[in-house]
Structure 1
Amino acid sequence: MRGTLSGGTAASAKATFDAVAKDLSLVAILNNPFALTPGFEGPKQPRGSKPAYEDDLHSWTAPFMMALINTRNVHRSNMLMGFPYGRDFVYDEMVLTGPGEKGEANAKKVMALNSEKTGPSAPKPGEGPSKEERENGRYDLLYLAVASDGRMVRAGIKG
């Protein structure tokens, strides 16, 4: 992925973390992947909060900054649509950083960069990527689906 964070996104993340720092009872809500699915608690979900080696992908992974919000929205969408992905749906978003020691080191770097994105040098609301940065940005997504019988499907999207 190549691109920069908008100031509004950075400010939203910072406001979330600031609110949690003031009211520790919010930690339970933030840690609940089903916080937006009232009355439904699905299966245990991956934490996605620290670097980990993923055997299925033969790669180290690091937390994706937006996963804390995105995963909750995906579970809510699944519920609102009548559970087309199933009530046993497990979902996570991570950044692939590669195999071996280099992949592990890169995962730790990504983790550190995630913290910087909401720090004092983060863009302010209204600031963000320039038109040139937006036009030159890119992404490379890999979806891995594992069925209950162990079958795997991989799909990629680049842009």
Structure 2
Amino acid sequence: MPDYSITTDKDAFDFDVIYGFISQSYWAMGIPKETMRRAIANSLCFGVFDKDNKQVGFARLITDSATFAYLADVFILPSHRGKGLSKYLMETIVAHPDLQGLRRIVLATRDAHGLYAQYGFQPIENPEILMQIWHPNVYQREQIAEGV
């Protein structure tokens, strides 16, 4: 896309844009800044930038770069939606050299199944084999403990 670029260079990322969106998202509402900083530092991240070098999107993969990855925190800012950027981001992600030959890539989404299906994601077969430890309100509990 001529007016947009994608990079994995974390030095180029605008943390305030990333944190501003994700901390208000349905999946990570209230995430502490330091938690988000650690998540970025320990993940393979993709930043989407406009022609003025302003960050307009993001995605990160928690991965061992050998067998498994979990796709998380995917967003395009509302003012840049409808331009094919989600598809551009997903095409870049699935083509990334560190993600080739993985046995499994998973994600969780409430509302973007159609997008991800275009890139090979399918509902989990045999979901009964998967288990999780899930603390949906962990960020709110952390804020209460910190007196926020």
Normalised-by-shorter TM-score class: under 0.3
User: Higher relative contact order at CA 8 Å, sep ≥6: structure 1 or structure 2?
Assistant: 1
Highest CA radius of gyration, 1 or 2?
1
**TM-score with structure 1 length normalisation?**
0.24
Q: Comparing both structures, which one devotes a greater share of its residues to strand?
A: 2
